[in-house]
Amino acid sequence: MLTNEIKSLQPGQGCEAAFLTAQGKVLALLRVHVLSDRVYLELDDDIKDRILEMLDRFLISERAEFHDVTAGWTILSIEGPRASEILHELGADTLPELPMTHRECLLGDLSVRVVRVGETGEIGFDLWIPADGAAVLWARLVEVGAPFGLRPIGITALNILRVEAGIPWYGVDVTEEMLLLEAPSERFISLTKGCYVGQEVVARITYRGHVNRKLTGLTFPDSAFPPEGAGVFGDEREIGRVTSATYSPTLKSGVALALLRRDWLDPGKRVEVRSPAGTWPAEVTTLPFYRRG
């Protein structure tokens, strides 16, 4: 059912994938984590019930069941160049090295599933902990991480970092109205696996055609940036819209993710962003805006 290769994954491996409509539109972006006796699907909370119900309808003769285990788990994320050092200091002996690999680690007396991910363009790990142990793990992370410069951050800082890294969020930058190939999607797709829902559309676009629009970056000449949803104009006609925008402390300027017509995707092209709140000159930029490490 998913766009990426799942059957070949071994316990301790995982991948990112998408669930599409037959027309190739994106119903969900998700992560798949394989264990010896089960597979975890990591979905956005606001779509998980609908997606699990849809997937369940495709179970015909397979001996499998879907269970929502959200309430039993908490996921804490630690990101940054010293993330590995902090986890080693907490007691982790061997950490997963490749993206989307995972392993059970003992952090003190807490058994934690550590998943190698990156939400910000930095080295990053998700720490899966049973919900009743989350507060203890949080306190230990803050205490042990303080000498390494670890600080808790909120959604605003996370949003800035992921926009700088060119990482789209489902429901914000990628929606059900979009084709998967209109977003940065290489890591979500296997071009060698068998059929899946929407595969014909993905293959046809990949080998025979192109998309008419694509998610790309915009940079602004100063710290100002437009609101989400603002229109992007070139040669006095609307050529797209802003999906995410923020101030980048790294670049010291406003940046945005925008869905633009394909004839305006060349880096360096000048455009204008307009909304009732104002007008902003901008330049088309390749993603990511800033590559760490």
Q: What is the pLDDT along the chain (293 residues), one digit of tens a residue?
A: 999 999 999 999 999 999 999 999 999 999 999 999 999 999 999 999 999 998 888 888 778 889 999 999 999 999 999 999 999 999 999 999 999 999 999 998 999 999 999 889 899 999 999 999 999 999 999 999 999 999 999 999 999 999 999 999 999 999 999 999 999 999 999 999 889 999 999 999 999 889 999 999 999 999 999 999 999 999 999 999 999 999 999 999 999 999 999 999 999 999 999 999 999 999 999 999 987 75
157 vs 180: CA distance, rounded Å: 27
Closest CA to 133 of 103, 110, 152, 114: 110
Minimal CA–CA distance to 102: which of 36, 5, 14, 42?
A: 14
Q: What is the pLDDT of residue 259?
A: 98
- Within 10 Å of residue 96's Cβ, how many Cβ atoms? 20
Contacts of residue 35, Cβ cutoff 8 Å, sequence gap at least 6: 11, 12
Residue type for position 104: E
- Residue with structure tokens 């190739």? 24
Q: Helix 83-90 and helix 134-145: axis angle, to 10°?
A: 110
Helix segments in the chain, DSSP class H: 45-57, 83-90, 134-145, 155-164, 199-208
- 212 within a domain of the structure (yes/no): no
**Considering only CA atoms, which of 264, 170, 137 is closest in space to residue 283?**
264
Report yes or no on 26 lying in a domain.
Answer: no
Nearest to 102 by CA among 190, 168, 27, 38: 38
Tell me whether residue 46 is in a domain: no
The CATH number for 96's domain is: 3.30.1360.120
Q: pLDDT, tens digit, for every residue of 225-273?
A: 999 999 999 999 999 999 999 999 999 999 999 999 999 999 999 999 9
**Both tokens assigned to 278:** 């104002």
Burial class (CB in 10 A: 0-12, 13-18, 19+), 13: middle
Q: Are 30 and 117 in contact (CB under 8 A)?
A: no
Distance, in Å, from the CA atom of 83 to the CA atom of 118, rounded to the nearest integer, reads 11
Strand ranges of the sheet holding 124-130, from the earlier edge strand across to the other edge: 73-79, 124-130, 110-117, 102-107
User: Number of structural domains, the chain?
Assistant: 1
Domain range for 120 is 71-162
> What's the Cα-to-Cα distance from 217 to each of 105, 157, 161, 257, 259, rounded to whole Å?
38, 19, 14, 5, 9
> Is 93 contained in some domain?
yes
275 membership: H or E segment, kind and range: strand 270-275
Question: Is 233 within a domain?
Answer: no
- Do the domain assignments include residue 108? yes
Evaluate whether residue 123 is within a structural domain: yes
Instruction: Look at residue 137 and tell me if it is in a domain.
Output: yes
Residues 92, 259: Cα–Cα separation, whole Å: 41
Amino acid letter, residue 284: V
